[in-house]
């Protein structure tokens, strides 16, 4: 079956969305005090880094950034078969922090559930907020993002693909229909 | 890669890529051990039985901690407190445990091949924690992990393993493992402790420790297993220490950045002097620390996709 690919956001579109999300995070939190950014590996970690850099530029500060691997927290380990575990790299204390979780695509919400459990095991943040580049719907859990790059209603069998270049900088987003 | 083993019985069955994959997975699990809350829910609801027919503190504790940090329920059974002393056969003991539906049995036994024997007869996963003088895969993997941690790689290194080669399962697993990862292996010991045909496993054999450790990157000292043999193999521990003990004098023959490993428990003053055991080259406690991460990786890997296989 041929796969049809539709571009949803180009390079400029992705950059504008990320910049807007960075501004929204600062606005909603009335600054960057106690703010930390945590990206969900792998796509969310690349995007989280982009958002962190933008916040740093806007506010002239350095907001802590970390990445989290949620393989160990998945609820479908047995049915998915083997999955390679990645590394969590968070070198700061999360107690009392306002955590902004970043992921590329929000779908069923199960990844975010796992990520929240993983964050809770690392400390007791004051709050957890969720930033998402593409919200494609089909939630299976009561999870709602705080910051959204683009709302995109999809069919279940469609796929969203976020392209990154060699430096892990997002290039474009495509919708794949099969 | 897709690596979904049912059992871990020995290094001999593993490919180079699979060994690298286990070590990479262990690196991810290692981070958990330095957290404040040292627990992830990965193996929640799984039951692990540590079935130890031979005394062990380090390996059993390491597997138990590894299982608990992954949220599995771990149960320890040791031979002295079990029905083995009442005359039950290995197969009956194992079948009775299996009837209680464990997911993984981690087993140590004095008979070589005991783990393979059970793996053919039981439905649950078996991890070999040492069988006779055959293999001890988790030890070889944690040794490789520790070497990689300190040297950055294993390919191209020269590693000397010295001591009672005949009675050591650690040696066999390590020779397989290090060879597959591209290291050169030398073994050294008195003639009475070197089994014939050792070269066929892929190593250089030495009877002179000083020659064996010249210019090597890693030295692995083995314990003199006093419980496994009479006093017939060596004249005295003092003489052994003199010719085959690692000390601050002979260690200078190795590379300046040599690392010293020991699977434990150490006989200080016999195969290793305290000055070396506590000296700057020793990585012995790193081995113990890494052991937990490596065993977490093994438990994780044998647990993946189980319901798919059963479906």
Residue-level pLDDT at B119: 95
- CB spacing of B303 vs A123 below 8 angstroms: no
Quick one: pLDDT at residue B309? 34
Question: Tell me, what's the pLDDT at A1?
Answer: 53
Q: Which CATH number is B16-136+289-310 given? A: 3.40.50.1370
Q: What is the pLDDT of residues B58-86, one digit of tens each?
A: 999 999 999 999 999 999 988 776 667 77
B6 → chain A, closest CA residue = A82
User: For chain A, how many residues are written?
Assistant: 178
Interchain CB distance below 8 Å, B308 and A81: yes
Contact residues for A92 (Cβ-Cβ < 8 A; gap 6+): A36, A64, A66
Q: pLDDT for A89-146, tens place per residue?
A: 888 999 999 999 999 999 999 999 999 999 999 999 999 999 999 999 999 999 999 9
B31 touches chain A (CB under 8 A): yes
Does B307 sit within 8 Å of A121, measured CB to CB? no
Residues within 8 A of A (CB atoms), B 178-217 only: none
pLDDT of residue A76: 74
Q: Which helix (H) or strand (E) holds B126?
A: strand B125-131
Any idea where the domains of chain B sit in the sequence?
16-136+289-310, 137-284
Nearest to A77 among B25, B39, B42 (CB): B42
Mean pLDDT of A8-36: 95
CB A38 within 8 A of CB A101: yes
Cβ neighbours, 10 Å, residue B152? 8
Are B111 and B132 spatial neighbours (Cβ–Cβ below 8 Å)?
yes
Which of B27, B297, B308 lies closest to A87 in CB terms? B27
Residue A15 is inside which H or E element, if any?
A: helix A11-28
Asked whether A86 and A42 are in contact (CB, 8 A), the reply is yes
Any chain B CB within 8 A of the CB of A91?
no
A156 at the B interface (CB within 8 A)? no
**Angstroms from A76 CA to nearest CA on chain B:** 9
Q: What is the pLDDT of residues B145-200, one digit of tens each?
A: 999 999 999 999 999 999 999 889 999 999 999 999 999 999 999 999 999 988 89
Domains of chain A: residue spans and CATH: 4-72+87-177 (3.40.50.2020)
For the segment B90-126, what is each residue's pLDDT rounded down to a tens digit? 899 889 999 999 999 999 999 999 999 999 999 999 9
pLDDT digits (tens, 9 = 90+) for B205-215: 999 999 999 99
Task: Specify the pLDDT at position B213.
Answer: 97
**Chain B interface disruption, residue of A42, A74, A81, A82, most B CBs within 10 A:** A82
- Among residues B227, B261, B230, B235, which one has the least CA distance to residue B246? B261
CB B254 within 8 A of CB B158: no
Under 8 Å CB pairs connecting chains A and B tally to 60
Q: The domain B137-284 is classified under which CATH number: 1.10.10.10, 3.60.150.10, 3.40.50.1370, 3.30.1490.20? A: 3.40.50.1370
Rounded mean pLDDT, B10-26: 95
Q: Which of A89, A98, A29 is nearest to A59 (CA)?
A: A29
Q: Looking at beta carbons, which residues of chain B come within 8 Å of A82?
A: 2-4, 301, 304-305
The reported pLDDT for the residue numbered B306 is 39
CA distance B254 to B257: 8
Smallest Cα–Cα separation from B115: which of B100, B123, B101, B105?
B105
B37 touches chain A (CB under 8 A): yes
**CB distance B9 to B132 below 8 Å:** no
pLDDT for B232 equals 72
Please state, in angstroms and rounded to a whole number, the distance separating the CA atoms of residues A158 and B219: 55
Report the alpha-carbon angle A92-A68-A18, nearest 5: 95
- Contact B240/A at CB under 8 A: no
Strands B218-221 and B158-162: what pairing? Answer: parallel
Q: Is A121 at the interface with chain B, CB within 8 A?
A: yes
Contact A87 B28 (CB under 8 A): yes
Min Cα–Cα distance to chain B from A121, Å? 6
ipTM value: 0.76
**Is A106 strand, coil or helix?**
strand
Instruction: Flag whether residue A73 sits within 8 Å of chain B, measured between CB atoms.
Output: yes
**Across the interface, do B304 and A123 touch by the CB < 8 Å criterion?**
no
Yes or no: say if B135 and B172 are a contact pair by the CB < 8 Å rule: yes
Residue B46 phi/psi, 5-degree rounding, is: -90, 145
Q: How far apart are CA A147 and CA A47, in angstroms?
A: 13
Bridge partners (DSSP) listed for residue B8:
B127
Q: Is A155 on the interface with B (CB under 8 A)?
A: no
Active centre residues of B (catalytic)? 58-59, 86, 108, 136
Query: Distance (Å, rounded) from C-alpha A73 to C-alpha B32?
Result: 12
Select from A127, A173, A120 the least CA-distant residue to A146. Answer: A127
Chain segment B260-288, per-residue pLDDT in tens: 999 989 999 999 999 999 999 999 999 99
Q: How many residues does chain B have?
A: 311
For residue A9, the model assigns a pLDDT of 92
Q: Which residue does chain B place closest to A76, by CA atoms?
A: B305
pLDDT(A175) > 70? yes
**pLDDT tens digit string along B282-308?**
999 999 999 999 999 999 999 874 333
For residue A87, the chain B residue with the least C-alpha distance is B28
Among B25, B305, B307, the residue with its CB nearest the CB of A85 is B25
Angstrom distance (rounded) from CA A101 to CA A116: 8
Number of H helices, E strands in chain A: 4, 8
B33 touches chain A (CB under 8 A): no
- B16-136+289-310 shares its CATH topology with B137-284: yes
DSSP H helices in A10-143:
11-28, 43-59, 77-80, 110-122
Please tell me the pTM assigned to this model. Answer: 0.88
Burial of residue B232 (CB within 10 Å: 0-12, 13-18, 19+) is: exposed
| Phi (first) and psi of residue B79, to 5 degrees | -60, -40
């Amino acid at each position: 079956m041929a796969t049809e690919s539709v571009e949803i956001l180009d390079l400029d579109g992705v950059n504008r969305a990320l910049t807007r999300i960075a501004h929204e995070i600062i606005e909603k939190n009335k600054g960057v005090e106690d703010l930390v950014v945590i990206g969900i590996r792998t796509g969310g970690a690349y995007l989280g880094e982009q958002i962190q850099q933008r916040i740093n530029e806007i506010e002239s500060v350095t907001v802590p950034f970390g990445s989290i691997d949620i393989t160990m927290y998945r609820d479908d380990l047995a049915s998915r078969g083997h999955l390679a575990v990645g590394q969590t790299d968070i070198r700061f204390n999360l107690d009392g922090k306002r955590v902004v979780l970043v992921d590329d695509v929000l779908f069923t919400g199960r990844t975010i559930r796992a990520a929240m459990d993983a964050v809770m095991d690392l400390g007791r943040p004051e709050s957890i907020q969720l930033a998402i580049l593409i919200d494609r719907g089909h939630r299976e859990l009561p999870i709602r993002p705080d910051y959204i790059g683009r709302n995109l209603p999809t069919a279940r069998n469609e796929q969203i693909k976020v392209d990154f270049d060699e430096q892990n900088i997002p290039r474009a987003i495509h919708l794949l229909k099969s | 890669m897709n690596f979904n083993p049912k059992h871990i019985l020995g290094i001999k069955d593993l490919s180079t890529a699979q060994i690298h994959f286990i070590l990479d997975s262990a690196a991810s699990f290692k981070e958990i051990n330095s957290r404040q809350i040292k627990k992830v829910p990965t193996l929640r609801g799984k039951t692990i039985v540590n079935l130890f027919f031979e005394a062990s503190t380090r390996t059993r504790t390491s597997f138990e901690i590894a299982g608990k940090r992954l949220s599995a329920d771990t149960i320890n059974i040791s031979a002295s407190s079990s029905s083995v002393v009442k005359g039950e056969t290995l197969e009956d003991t194992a079948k009775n445990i299996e009837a209680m539906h464990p997911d993984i049995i981690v087993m140590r036994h004095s008979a070589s091949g005991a783990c393979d024997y059970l793996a053919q007869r039981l439905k649950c996963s078996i991890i070999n924690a040492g069988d006779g003088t055959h293999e001890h895969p988790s030890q070889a993997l944690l040794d490789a992990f520790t070497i990689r941690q300190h040297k950055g790689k294993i390919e191209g290194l020269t590693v000397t393993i010295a001591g009672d080669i005949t009675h050591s399962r650690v040696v066999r697993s390590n020779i397989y493992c290090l060879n597959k990862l591209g290291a050169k292996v030398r073994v050294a010991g008195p003639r009475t402790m070197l089994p014939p045909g050792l070269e066929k496993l892929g190593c250089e054999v030495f009877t002179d420790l000083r020659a064996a450790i010249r210019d090597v990157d890693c030295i692995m000292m083995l314990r003199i297993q006093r419980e496994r043999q009479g006093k017939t193999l060596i004249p005295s521990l003092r003489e052994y220490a003199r010719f085959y003990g690692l000390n601050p004098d002979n260690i200078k023959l190795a590379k300046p950045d040599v690392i010293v490993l020991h699977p434990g428990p150490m006989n200080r003053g016999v195969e290793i002097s305290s000055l070396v055991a506590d000296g700057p080259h020793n990585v012995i406690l790193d081995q113990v620390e890494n052991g937990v991460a490596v065993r977490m990786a093994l438990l994780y890997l044998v647990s993946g996709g189980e319901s798919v296989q059963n479906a």
